[in-house]
Chains A and B, each alone.
Chain A
Amino acid sequence: MNQTLSSLFVSFCLIGIGAYGGGLVTVPLIQHEVAEKHDWLSQQEMGKIVAIAQMTPGPIAINAATFVGYRVAGIAGAVVATTAVVLPSITILFILSHIVRRVRSSESLARFRTGMHTGVLSLLLFAVWSYGRGVVSGAPELGIAVAAFLTLVVFDRRIHPLIVIVAAGLVGLVIF
Chain B
Amino acid sequence: MCTGAQRISLASLFWTFFRIGLLTFGGGVAMAAVMRYELVLKRRWLGEDDFVSAMATATAVPGVIAVNLAFLQGQRFRGLPGAGAAVLGTICPSFFVILLIVWSALPHFDHPTVAVFLKGCAVAVSGQIAFATYTFARRVRRNWRTGLACAVGLTVVLLGLHPIWAVVAAAGLSYFLQEPNGPSDSNGSGESQGSTLRSRGQTTSETQEGDA
Contacts and interface: CB of A to CB of B under 8 A. Distances in A.
B118 A162 contact: no
A132 B57 contact: no
A66 B129 contact: no
Interface residues of B, number: 105
Contacts, number: 416
A110 B195 contact: yes
B38 interface: no
Nearest to A71: B102
B118 A48 contact: yes
A121 B183 CA distance: 18
Q: What secondary structure prevails in chain B residues at the interface with A?
A: helix
Interface string B24-46: 11111111000000000000000
Given A107-B195, A110-B195, A131 B129 contact: yes
Contacts of A27: 125, 129
| Most chain B CB inside 10 Å of its own CB: which residue of A14, A55, A145 | A145
Interface of A: 14, 16-25, 27-29, 32, 37, 44, 47-48, 50-63, 66-67, 70-71, 75, 78, 82, 85-86, 88-90, 92-94, 96-97, 102-107, 109-128, 131-132, 135-136, 141, 144-153, 156-157, 160-162, 164-173, 176
Given A89-B68, A104-B53, A176-B116, 10 more contacts: A23-B30, A55-B25, A66-B99, A90-B68, A117-B136, A122-B149, A126-B163, A132-B126, A152-B127, A157-B210
21 contacts: A17-B63, A18-B62, A20-B62, A23-B26, A66-B95, A66-B98, A89-B68, A93-B71, A103-B53, A110-B198, A114-B141, A115-B171, A115-B178, A117-B140, A119-B172, A122-B154, A124-B129, A135-B123, A145-B124, A148-B126, A172-B116
